[in-house]
């Protein structure tokens, strides 16, 4: 399943917004959404549409919603 399909399962409006992202904005949103999905899987809860919306909003504004460390992607 692609990330786009997974976001579509969470909320169709956010999936539509996600498809319109390009470049750095897309990269920031992708990283944030993947981290959110992994955290939800670890805690055995459903992903939150409002959290995905906030991640996309922050990406559009050029803000990462997390601090990166050297191996942060692997730790999530």
H/E segment holding residue 28: helix 23-43
Contacts of 72 (CB under 8 A, 6+ apart): 66
Give the pLDDT confidence of 4-50 residue by residue, as tens digits.
999 999 999 999 999 999 999 999 999 999 999 999 999 999 999 99
Model-level pTM?
A: 0.82
3-state helix, strand, coil in the chain (%, to 5): 70, 0, 30
């Amino acid at each position: 399943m692609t990330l786009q399909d997974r976001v579509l399962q969470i909320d169709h409006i956010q999936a539509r917004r996600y498809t319109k992202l390009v470049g750095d904005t897309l990269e920031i949103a992708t990283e944030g959404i993947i981290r959110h999905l992994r955290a939800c899987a670890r805690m055995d809860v459903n992903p939150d549409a409002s959290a995905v919306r906030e991640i996309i909003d922050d990406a559009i504004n050029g803000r990462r919603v997390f601090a990166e460390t050297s191996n942060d992607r692997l730790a999530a």
